[in-house]
Homo-oligomer: A and B are copies of this chain.
Amino acid sequence: MTLLDPLFGWKPIDEIFSDASRLLRMLDFEAALARAEARVSLIPADAALSISSHCRAELFDLNALARAAADAGNLAIPMVRQLTDLVAKADKDAARYVHWGATSQDAIDTGLTLQLRDALHVVASELDHLCAALAQLAEKHRATPLAGAAGTLASLHDRGLDVAKVLAEELKLPLPDVPWHAHRDRIAEVATTLALLTGTLGKVARDLSLQMQTEVGELSEPAAAGRGGSSTMPQKRNPVACATILAAADRVPALASTILRSMTQEHERGLGNWHAEWETLPELVRLAAGALHRAAETLAGLEVDTVRMRQNLEITHGLIYAEAVSMALSPHLGKRPAHQILEKASQRAIAEKKHLCDILAADPTITSRISAAELDQLFDPANYTGMSSQFIDRVLATHKKSESKP
């Protein structure tokens, strides 16, 4: 508990996001991963049991983890290392299967997701309490008069609701249960929804622009006369559409924050904060829609250089297959030793400007465990696409389903 936690936080939530819980939730992932991999017979059931039994936050040294994370760049790396050490003390074989086939981000993001799920449960239940309290107040003070032009339609006497209904009909707008003059959640939700869309478009534009770099050259925006040239550098072809989409993704979050921040409007009429919406919201919609339009145009005419992609796969001298080889070696040597061997081989490949495959083919530790044919296969990109085809099927199926809707 920090000095200001009881003032700004809330105990059940603070506990969900405590350091100990952050660690525990990542360990929950490691334990579940081991159990899942045992259930599909990928790793021995004994190993999963042993791993699972060590996934307890109290066995870990939080301070050491914190310090190691500063070097490693994230918490998962030292956590996996500590866990592996703990498991190894009890069961050397099991230690090989810790974090099997997973990345740091798998552990970190799944841990976060588990924390968020718990937190959203607590939030939902407290929201019920709030609604109950509000309902009770509404019942009790139904007839209490209060100053303020609160949208009661009082100026229309007993015809207010009739007018409202017919007006909604005339304008083809839904009629809300209650007036919402200075309560702007409807407005703000439009802003956040478009901000989410713009963020997604920005992610796409970021990746496209990275693959359009001169040094990478895998993708190009659709060519057109006068498009993307440089006033001074004749050889350049700029990712113009990506730049404007990224500009939108840079600007929209701040505009959304203005709309969100302006929700605390006073009584029945916001002073300044209502006015803050008048130009901000149209600007936000303009940027989001402009980004969307340019993304649709760009992706419809995207030029994909598959030859260059294949070349780029080779440019790292096989280093990108290091993970695959490491995984293949792990059942023989354990995960960490395999990782270390590949780390050193990778460094040699860089230093000696050789292909990683050649380095490995000359190493008896490797060749005694992996055949030459097997090694070749590990360096074939076609054998390392994982589940991508299934993923494409799934997302296309979802897309087709949504298309067929009226």
Contact = CB atoms under 8 A, between A and B. Distances in A.
Nearest to A306: B144
A326 B233 CA distance: 8
Interface string A272-296: 1111111111100111111011111
A182 interface: yes
Interface residues of A, number: 249
B261 A250 contact: yes
Contact of A13 (B170, B239, B285): B285
16 contacts: A3-B69, A8-B248, A9-B287, A10-B290, A12-B289, A72-B227, A102-B232, A104-B231, A112-B281, A133-B300, A142-B388, A148-B320, A152-B388, A183-B200, A233-B322, A253-B256
Nearest to A28: B171
A153 B265 CA distance: 33
A107 to B, nearest CB: 8
Interface string A139-165: 111111111111011111101111110
B295 A195 contact: no
Interface string A219-251: 000001111111111110011101111111111
A137 B222 CA distance: 14
B385 A152 contact: yes
Contacts of A108: 278
A1 interface: yes
Interface in A80-104: 80, 99, 101-104
B295 A66 contact: no
A387 B5 CA distance: 37
A243 B260 contact: no
Contacts of A127: 197, 292, 296
Contacts of A357: none
Nearest to A167: B36
A304 B141 contact: yes
Given A10-B293, A77-B231, A271 B252 contact: no
Contact of A36 (B163, B188, B246): B163
Contact of A72 (B187, B240, B271): B240
